[in-house]
Structure 1
Amino acid sequence: MDVSIAGWLVLAIAIAAANLPFFNDKVLALVPVGWQRKPLPVRLLEIVALYFVVGALGFALEANIGTRFPQTWEFYAISACTFIVLGFPGFIVRYLRKPHG
């Protein structure tokens, strides 16, 4: 797999994963719960879990392409903030958009 394709693939999966908790009322889109709507803390825990899943996928793709580069805390801080920003459209649709009608 090409480096460019792997980068775009991880970015596309990160966008989908960051918005998944806000567009789905099942836990991790698999487990139905008894609530009518998931509470915000559950959605935030899902974002943290999906951040690690996407990170593991990124590391696997990087190792498959070639040598995996060591990362420092700055990389993890920036990637976590980026993941939160990628989930902002889902947050807007779920919590800030007023229903019409």
Structure 2
Amino acid sequence: MSHTLSVWLVIAAAIVGANLPFLNSRWLAVIPRQGRKTLWMHAAELLLLYLLVGGLGLALEQSGGQIYPQGWEFYATTGALFLTLAFPGFVYRYLFHRRG
């Protein structure tokens, strides 16, 4: 797999993973729940998906060569980016009011 394809795969996984908690009421889009998820459930699921996408990126970086060590700044930046990518799902779930 080329390096460019790996980068686009991680970006696509981040977009899907960031919006997935807000688009359905199932836990991780697999396990059914009775009722709606609370905001804290969405946040916990978002954190778990951030870690999974980060693990995917780490695995793809390992397959491409040596892993470059990261500091806290990297994780703060990617966390902020992940929250930014989650904005459309958040708006759809909490701010978009349907008529009828």
Q: Structure 2 length normalisation: TM-score?
A: 0.97
1:50: how far off? 0.3
Render the CA deviation track for 1:37-92: whole Å, top value 9, x for unaligned.
11111011000000000000000000001111100000000000100110100000
User: Identity of paired residues, percent?
Assistant: 47
2:9 aligned residue: 9
Whole-Å separation in 1 of the counterparts to 2:31 and 2:97:
27
Aligned to 1:21: 21
Question: Root-mean-square deviation (CA), in Å?
Answer: 0.7
Distance 1:12 1:33 in 2: 26
Residue identity matched to 1:51: Y
**Structure 1 outlier segments of 4+, above 3 Å:** none
The alignment covers a number of residue pairs equal to: 100
The normalised TM-score by structure 1 is 0.96
Residue aligning to 1:53: 52
